[in-house]
Structure 1
């Protein structure tokens, strides 16, 4: 499954870095049309996480994953067949729906395969994912030096072919067994013989709401840092891509080592406290970067990027563990699907939050980091009672992987 993740991310890296350029120069769309297409397809993609999780609780997980990869491949190839805006919008939406659903189901597969070692497995999976994404991005950058329509089309075709390869590699994978939890609580028990419903679980929904805020680190790197640098006097614009490279290198180098600090549910919950400090420091260093000369700004922006990356890695470790530990086994797919909404929702609110911080100036970044830090403390308190009522003991599970 790690090889599958690697190939999947290479394909996504090929397309993500050129999608806007493709729609602009190949499909001939206006800026407004490209923006609308991204917004609408992203909004529809939000439904992919809970929908995919619900389906995975009813059908064999590997077969659902294969179907989703085929769907993503068809959506990518379909984009090559037309420049008609409504069709491009429809195909992009289908691709976004499949992408969000497959992301949740890949996490579910890893959870079932790794058992009690799920946090370390997810850390390795995330490292491989970042490496694949970076490789795809570098390949796209090299191809774009040609600057031709054919180059753009081949990159999109490469994205579709990666999904075909992933589907073929998933075919021989064994179906992972469901996790068995030795100790269960009344909260985990099915009501009226039916699986638990995450939409009626107020604690889990509140937890997902806090997760939406904690996932804002993603928007910091995609929008916050580039815009802040672009509007900072004396700061070279070339610093923005270098900080993204720093982010990727730190994740590849440190995600797995950091995972050992969250290998139990209690340890993962305790990580929320240093995580809150990391988010607060990230916001403060961003604020102070506007108070000095060029060298001072570059050093503080680099420190802020490193701190937000540390927060990103700590949150990934915490999120992987708590999202599973708080969910009942009889509806794990449905619960992880709802959890996937947090990442999707922040893609909508994240740009608004970050641009508001930039517009407010240094004080805005301080408030931004402090707000996320306080949310960490709220989540730490929120999950305490639920976890105390539900002591977990998850035996390791071994499944052959391809």
Structure 2
């Protein structure tokens, strides 16, 4: 079988049918554009718009805080309106927000446009997950793994393209990168137009003429068990801050390790996710299996913290060895948690309020973007003991979550949507 035949066969095995494959293209285009901008956003605001370090930090913090609202609001809206139309609107909002940044260097306007883009980004992320859940049905864990693989490839492609463009170093180069980011959202919106609208249990009940099933949908804000689960998720998402902030800062302040190791560890992280995310997903294909993965996940987090602590105890070779070990451990943790989080966040949500519940779950990752940098900088300031405590805290939270979801498995089994696009 040739490469084209193998690619075609692999494509047919993707859950969700044609719409599932279109969503993978959307993820690739979206993340490629995001990779272009994420790699240069700080540089753009510094060198093109002339913001100070304090202004850039405030802009990132405020826009991130406003973006937190995008997850729950987007999820709630998607339970009431056609999901594809909401997604298209959000992609257009993101495109307009990106293009608007090109039109001004006024700080207040830059803040407003960045906040609008952040809101659209968080809402679109939740709705994309909701769409994938509805079209992939019982194969949602495997589909999520494929999506993460494609998204990481897009991030890498965008980052490499940005790095190549930055060799020019002109204002025009920065502006074209931002334009490319905006165009990626336009392309994602156009691709979404071709996607069929998946069935929504909440909307089916809302439009039903039979008064019997017209009960009030569950409210995630009153579900203390789910809120406790989301709180633990915020802690488990801290691995993101390790690669974005923790490892680069730890290496930058080390006298033993070459600073060039930081980007190499990021490359290692991306390659591992692309190569291993799909194979690892098979170990969390059911709710019970996903819950069981929380125990090895706990061990991976603990190992990552200890290895980072030990990297400060030896010479250059020893430090490099332990830093690489830590990066591998945290990457394994990232992949296992992605599998666990996808399955449990959906399985613990009632089918009639999936959008609202997944929107609340999206708060965990949004909140981590604010909490994470503080947590890893505190670990760095404390030294080796701080990294050990950092890993141990997340490990203990994994064990707590393992016990937390145990009592909800009977409800979880009933929460999977009974109808999916693939069953039509």
Q: What's the offset of the Cα at 1:49?
A: 0.3
Separation (CA, whole Å) in 2 of partners of 1:394 and 1:97 = 27
Please show how residues 184-203 of structure 1 align to structure 2 within 5 Å: 193-203=215-225
* 3-state SS of 2:217 partner: coil
Match of 1:51 among 62, 73, 78: 73
Q: What's the offset of the Cα at 1:398?
A: 4.3
Please show how residues 91-170 of structure 1 align to structure 2 within 5 Å: 91-170=113-192
Provide, for residues 86-105 of structure 1, a one-character-per-residue CA deviation record: whole Å limited to 9, x for no partner. Answer: 00100000000000000000
Separation (CA, whole Å) in 2 of partners of 1:60 and 1:52 = 12
Q: Residue 349 of structure 1 corresponds to which residue in structure 2?
A: 371
Separation (CA, whole Å) in 2 of partners of 1:199 and 1:234 = 48
Q: What's the offset of the Cα at 1:54?
A: 0.5
**CA-atom RMSD in angstroms:** 1.6
Residues 9 and 136, structure 1, Cα contact 8 Å, conserved in 2? yes
Q: What's the offset of the Cα at 1:288?
A: 0.6
Q: Residue 183 of structure 1 corresponds to which residue in structure 2?
A: none
Unmatched segments (≥5 aa) in structure 1: 181-189
Q: What's the offset of the Cα at 1:394?
A: 6.0
* 3-state SS of 1:391 partner: helix
Does the alignment pair 1:333 with 2:350? no
Q: Report the TM-score when normalising by structure 1.
A: 0.95
Does the alignment pair 1:6 with 2:6? no
* 3-state SS of 1:116 partner: helix
Separation (CA, whole Å) in 1 of partners of 2:174 and 2:28 = 22
Q: Residue 229 of structure 2 corresponds to which residue in structure 1?
A: 207
Does the alignment pair 1:295 with 2:327? no
The 3 A distance-change label for structure 1 pair 390 and 226 is closer
The 3 A distance-change label for structure 1 pair 49 and 20 is same
Q: Report the TM-score when normalising by structure 2.
A: 0.90
Match of 1:310 among 312, 321, 332: 332
Separation (CA, whole Å) in 1 of partners of 2:194 and 2:165 = 33
Please show how residues 188-267 of structure 1 align to structure 2 within 5 Å: 193-267=215-289
Provide, for residues 23-53 of structure 1, a one-character-per-residue CA deviation record: whole Å limited to 9, x for no partner. Answer: 1111111111111111110000000000100
Separation (CA, whole Å) in 1 of partners of 2:67 and 2:41 = 16
Does the alignment pair 1:360 with 2:382? yes
Residues 305 and 387, structure 2, Cα contact 8 Å, conserved in 1? yes
* 3-state SS of 2:413 partner: coil
